Copies of this chain bind each other. A is one copy, B any other.
Amino acid sequence: MSLIDLSKHVALGIDIGGTTTKFGVVNHRGEVLEKGNLSTDAYATVEEFIDALYEKVHPLINSYGKEKNFDGIGVGAPNGNYYTGTIEQAPNLPWKGVIPFGKLMTEKFGLPTTITNDANAAAFGEMLFGAARGMKDFIMITLGTGVGSGIVSSGKLIYGHDGFAGELGHTIVKPGGRKHWSTGSEGSLEAYASATGIAITAKKMRAEFPESMLSQFPEESINSKTVHECALKGDPISIEVFRYTGQKLGEALANFVMFSSPEAILLFGGVIKAGDFILKPAKLHMERNLLPIFRNKVKLVFSELDEADAAILGASALVWEK
């Protein structure tokens, strides 16, 4: 029996998004050795998508010493189910129904495949390679086009009885509040704290306060980046857009803390570029809504992973978490 040379062992991390799928070869130190991507929605069926992925990935597998050096494949996908390896009713993916994605991948690649949703994968990535190293209890919140989450308790992801736990973006922060453009729910965190939600808030404020710097931009061009630019130039309305967003986020975070009492909450995604404009009010309103026993204990921190690689790292981390 020969010793296994861990330094040669790698995993394949795959992040499936609505339009683009990214993949990469990752080693134990969390270094992305190779990466590439392909279009998610250019194929008629999931089988054709997997065939195309295989064509791109197979040369990498060969160049890293074939399957023997690959510990497995980790996949982060919207509505990915850790228990069953399926992708179920994902509204933003071209494949409808319940897709046995893990099974199809294993059959094609001859490697064990682990799946979870994209936010859970991001949480794994932080735990193995990022700001949550050494933490056993934390919550990861991804603030992008939507709001996702991964909850780690006693060192384990919370999956719930069906594999779908951790949809914190869809918890209601303002009952009867803003109607969600896709789910129809009223007052969800995602309706306020996602980039989409921030754009809605900004457009409303721009209409109400024409003196705002935001009025210099055509309405359709208003997004969280525009708001950030105006806030940096001191526009009080743009600053208020982020303050309001931070308040809603902070109120939601307080509820999350009283649920699982994490050591830290990690924030990730495009929205956090707004930095203290959002973080300060979020922290203020989180603390204000906490019971005294939870106050001034929870760290509110930004992800340490490079945004371009985080999804691949998170997906590959799934392989080694098992």
Q: Which A residues fall within an 8 A CB radius of B?
A: 79, 88-89, 135-137, 151, 153-154, 156, 158-168, 170-175, 183, 185, 251, 254-256, 258-263, 289, 291-294, 297
Q: Are A161 and B185 in contact (CB under 8 A)?
A: no
Q: When A88-B293, A291-B170 are in contact, do A259 and B151 touch as well, CB less than 8 Å?
A: yes
Question: Within the complex, which residue of B161, B167, B175, B291 is in contact with A258, where a contact is CB–CB below 8 Å?
Answer: B167
Q: Are A174 and B171 in contact (CB under 8 A)?
A: no
Q: How far is the CA of A172 from the CA of B154 in the complex (A)?
A: 25
Q: When A89-B293, A255-B171, A291-B170 are in contact, do A261 and B164 touch as well, CB less than 8 Å?
A: yes
Kindly list chain B residues whose C-beta atoms are within 8 Å of the C-beta of A159.
Answer: 154, 261
Q: When A88-B293, A289-B185, A291-B185 are in contact, do A258 and B171 touch as well, CB less than 8 Å?
A: yes
Q: When A153-B153, A175-B174, A183-B291 are in contact, do A161 and B262 touch as well, CB less than 8 Å?
A: yes
**In the complex, what's the smallest C-beta–C-beta distance from A165 to chain B, in angstroms?**
4
Q: How far is the CA of A235 from the CA of B315 in the complex (A)?
A: 57
Q: When A171-B258, A251-B172 are in contact, do A153 and B160 touch as well, CB less than 8 Å?
A: yes
Q: When A156-B154, A172-B254 are in contact, do A167 and B291 touch as well, CB less than 8 Å?
A: yes
Kindly list chain B residues whose C-beta atoms are within 8 Å of the C-beta of A151.
Answer: 259-260
Query: Taking CB as reference atom, which chain B residue is nearest A251?
Result: B175
Kindly list chain B residues whose C-beta atoms are within 8 Å of the C-beta of A136.
Answer: 161
Q: Are A166 and B259 in contact (CB under 8 A)?
A: yes
Kindly list chain B residues whose C-beta atoms are within 8 Å of the C-beta of A254.
Answer: 171-172
Question: Within the complex, which residue of B79, B163, B165 is in contact with A259, where a contact is CB–CB below 8 Å?
Answer: B165
Q: Are A261 and B162 in contact (CB under 8 A)?
A: yes
Question: Within the complex, which residue of B172, B175, B260, B297 is in contact with A158, where a contact is CB–CB below 8 Å?
Answer: B260
Query: Taking CB as reference atom, which chain B residue is nearest A172?
Result: B289
Kindly list chain B residues whose C-beta atoms are within 8 Å of the C-beta of A289.
Answer: 172, 175, 185
Q: How far is the CA of A174 from the CA of B261 in the complex (A)?
A: 21
Q: Top 9 nearest A-B pairs by Cβ distance?
A: A160-B261, A165-B261, A161-B263, A137-B161, A171-B255, A167-B258, A170-B291, A165-B260, A164-B261
Kindly list chain B residues whose C-beta atoms are within 8 Å of the C-beta of A262.
Answer: 160-161
Q: How far is the CA of A88 from the CA of B255 in the complex (A)?
A: 21
**In the complex, what's the smallest C-beta–C-beta distance from A86 to chain B, in angstroms?**
12
**In the complex, what's the smallest C-beta–C-beta distance from A147 to chain B, in angstroms?**
12
Kindly list chain B residues whose C-beta atoms are within 8 Å of the C-beta of A171.
Answer: 254-255, 258-259
